[in-house]
Amino acid sequence: MSTINIKQITSVVAVSWSGAFLEWVDFYTYALLAGTIAKIFFPPGDPIASLMASFAALAVGFIFRPLGAIIFGKIGDQLGRKTAFIAAMILMLIGTIGIGVLPEYERVGILASLGVFMLRILQGLALGGGFGAAITYLGKFVPEHRRGLFTGLLFTTAPAGMATVGAMIWTFSTIIGPQFYEWGWRLNFIVAGLIVFSVVVIMHLFYEETPIFSMLKSVRRITSAPVKELFSRQYLPIVLLAWIGVVGAHGPIWYTNQLFNSYYIGPNFKDYVSSTLASSMLSTATYASLWMYPLFGYISDRIGRKPILLLGIYGNALWLPFAFWMIDQLGPRGDVNMLWLLIWSMTMMNGVGYSGAMSAFLLELFPARIRLSAVGFAYNLGYGITGGITPFIITWIYSINRDIYLSTVIWATIVPMVMALWYAVKGPETLGIRIWSEFIAKKFAKEAIVLPSNMPIREVVKHMMKSNSKQVILTNGSIRIFDKRSLIKALSSGAKIDEEVGKYSLEVPCIEANEPVTKVFLILENFNVRAVPICNEGKPLGIIDVRELINEAITLRGILRKKIALHRTVYDVIYRELISISPNTSLGEAIKIMAYHNIGFLPIVENEKLIGVISETDIIKIIANDGNLNDSIYKYANKSPITVSKETTVRDAVELMIKNNIRHLPIVDNSGKLIGVISVKDIIKAIS
C-alpha cells in the first residue's frame, strides 16, 4: 500500500471511528441503565411492567434507526457529509442531555415516560444517520483485498462504546455509592452529552469535507430516489436477504451477547453479583474482545464472507444455551472469575459475526448507485429493529412463561437459526466483487494524444490546438502530463518554444484502467494536477480531466434548479481578488502574471474600463500560430467579451456560461468599469 493511501485511509478511519464511537457512547448510556431508568421514569407498581416499558423505550430508539438512515443519507447527499454528521450528533446530544435532566415519574407522572420515548426517538434517528454512511465511505478508500480488515475496525465502535459506558457506570457508582441509583446515574448522560458537544464544536470549526469526499459526491451519480429503488422489484429481495438472513439473524445474538447477559446476571443473582459488578464485567470483557472484529474481517478477506457470517450466527446461537446454563450454575456460587470468562467468551463470539465480514458483505452486496442508502437501511433494520428489541422481547416472553433461560434461548438461539436458513441456502459469496466496478477509472477516461517527450513545445501545442485538447500524455521512459497550465509556467520561466517539452511537463503516476476512480482523486489531490493518465499494463490508454470527472456542466445545470441561485448575485460569490493587466502589457508579461497567480483568465483594462480579455486557451492558439511574446497583449485579446453586471443573479450567469461554453465572466458597472471576475469555480464553491 502506498504512503498516499495510508495517509488517506488513516484520516478517514480516524474521523469515521471517532464520530461513530461517540454516537454509540451516547446511545448505549440508556441501554446499560435501562433497569435503573425503569424505576425512575415509569409507573412503579409492577416491576416487570416497568422494566418492559423501559426496554420498549430502548427498542424505540433502535426502531427509528432505519428512518434516520434515510433522512440523514439524503442530507449527506445534498448538503455534505460534514453537515449530516454534525446534525446527527447535535440530535444525539439533545436526546442524551434530555434524558439526563428529565424530571422523574414521581414529579411529572406520565409526561416523564413520554419524554423518555421522545428523546429515545431522537437518539435513534441520530445513530441511524451516521453509522451506515461511515461504513460506506470507509469502504471506498480501503484496498479491495483488505476490505474486511479495515471496515472491521469501524465495527469495534459499537462494543467499545458500550464498554466505555459500562466503565463510566462503574466509576460513578463506585465514587457516589448507593445514591448513584437515585440521582448519580444522571451524570452518565450529562458527561456523555458534554463530550459529544465538545466534539461537535471541534468538527464545526476544524473539520472540512476532504476534496475526495466532495469529488466522490459529484461523480457518484446515484439515484435521486434511493428509497424507491430499495423497494423496487429488482432490489427488494436483496434488502430482505441482508436484513432477515444475515444482519437481522445476527442482531438478537449480538444484543444478547453484548447487552442482555448483564441484565440476566444482575436481577437473577443480585444477592451474589451486583448490577454494577455485572456491568463492569461486561465492560472489561468487551474491551478484551475488540481484537476479534478486525481479525475475522481479515480472515474473511482470505476465505470468504459467507463461512465467517454463518459461523457468527450458528456458532453463536449454539453456544448461548450452554453459556447461559453455565451462568445459572455459577451465579449462586458468586464465582466472579468464571462468570467473567463466560461473558468474555460471548463478547468474543460477537467479534466473529459482527466483524469486517459483515461490513464487507453489505458493501459488496449492493450496487454503487444505491449503496449508501442500502447499507445504512439494511444495517439499521437488522441491528436496529431485529436486534434492538432483544431485551424487550426476551422480557415479554419471560412475562408469559416465567422462565428467563428458556425465553433467552427462544429469541437468541432458535429464531436466529431459522432466519439464517435463507442466507445459508440462497445467499451469495461476495468476496472478490469489485465494489467499484461501476466506477473504474477506464469508464471515466477519454482518448488522449500521446506524444514523445522530446518533441518541441511548439509542435506539442499545435497538436493540442488541432485536436482541441486541454492536455497531452508524454512518453519516453516515464509517463508525463503537459497541459495549458504547464505551457503558461514553462513560458513564464523563460522556456523557448523549440525546447523539448519533457523538461516542462510533470511526471504523474499512471492509474491502471481497472482501478477505482478514488485513486485518481488521490493523485489529483496529492500531485496538484488537473489530469491523470490511465494505463493498461503500463501503456497509456487515456486521460481523466478533473473538470470532466466532476462533470462541471452537470453541476452548473443543477445550480440552475436551486432557489439560492435566484437570490444571490455574481458579486456575492466572488472570492478571488481582482487581477487585471493594461493593453500595453506584453504577451510574455501576461503569461508570467497568469503563472504567478495560478489563474487562466486575465481581463485587460484601460482607465479602469474593460477593453478585452485573454485566457489559457487563447495562449495555446497564439503559440501554435507562432505569436511573438514581445507583442502587446491587446493584439491577441478577445475585444468583445461577454460581461455581466454587479446585480446579475448567479442563475443568469450560469445560463450564459452554459450557452457560450465559457468559464469566466467579467463583472462591469454601467460605465464599463471592471469590478470583478466570476468563474465556474467560484459559483460551484459558493452554491453547490
Class level of CATH domain 441-549: alpha beta
The reported pLDDT for the residue numbered 479 is 92
How far, in Å, are 51, 59, 330, 394, 404 from residue 398 at the CA level?
12, 17, 21, 6, 5
Query: 71 near 87, Cβ under 8 Å?
Result: no
The reported pLDDT for the residue numbered 1 is 40
Among 151-160, 301-310, 409-418, 612-621, whose mean pLDDT is lowest?
Answer: 151-160
What pTM was computed for the model? Answer: 0.70
Comparing 441-549 with 554-687, is the CATH topology the same? Answer: yes
Task: Pick 286 or 500 by higher pLDDT.
Answer: 500
Buried-state track 547-568, b at ≥16 Cβ within 10 A, e below 16? ebbbebeebbebbeeeeebeeb
Task: Pick 647 or 142 by higher pLDDT.
Answer: 647
The reported pLDDT for the residue numbered 3 is 41
- Tell me the three cell numbers of residue 320: 448461548
Say which residues have a Cβ less than 8 Å from residue 220's Cβ, sequence separation at least 6: 368, 439
The reported pLDDT for the residue numbered 548 is 76
Fold of 3-439: Growth Hormone; Chain: A; (1.20.1250)
Task: Tell me if residue 543 falls in helix, strand or coil.
Answer: strand
Most confident of 139-148, 439-448, 503-512, 574-583: 503-512
The reported pLDDT for the residue numbered 630 is 93
Share of the chain above pLDDT 90, in %: 35
Confidence of residue 409 (pLDDT cuts 50, 70, 90): very high
Q: Where are the domains of the chain?
A: 3-439, 441-549, 554-687
Segments in 515-612 forming alpha helices (H): 518-527, 546-549, 552-560, 564-567, 587-597
pLDDT tens track for 162-186: 788 888 888 888 888 888 878 888 8
The reported pLDDT for the residue numbered 29 is 79
What phi and psi, each to the nearest 5 degrees, are found at residue 469?
Answer: -100, 145
CA distance 364 to 306: 12
Whether domain 554-687 has CATH 3.10.580.10: yes
CA distance 91 to 135: 20
Among 25-34, 142-151, 277-286, whose mean pLDDT is lowest?
Answer: 25-34
**Neighbouring-strand partners of residue 481:** 473, 506
The reported pLDDT for the residue numbered 668 is 95
Segments in 156-225 forming alpha helices (H): 157-176, 186-206, 211-219
pLDDT tens track for 537-590: 889 999 998 877 776 766 777 788 888 888 899 988 887 788 999 999 999 999
Among 48-57, 152-161, 558-567, whose mean pLDDT is lowest?
Answer: 48-57
Rounded to 5°, the CA angle 49-50-52 comes to 65
The reported pLDDT for the residue numbered 619 is 93
pLDDT tens track for 358-390: 989 998 898 877 777 788 788 888 887 888 788
- Give the residue from 307, 313, 247, 334 showing the smallest Cα distance to 65: 247
What average pLDDT score do residues 142-149 get? 80
Query: 305 near 359, Cβ under 8 Å?
Result: no
- Tell me the three cell numbers of residue 228: 424507491
The reported pLDDT for the residue numbered 648 is 95
What average pLDDT score do residues 611-636 get? 93
Rounded to 5°, the CA angle 130-135-139 comes to 145
CA distance 252 to 382: 9
The reported pLDDT for the residue numbered 525 is 75
CA distance 674 to 677: 8
CA distance 251 to 534: 43
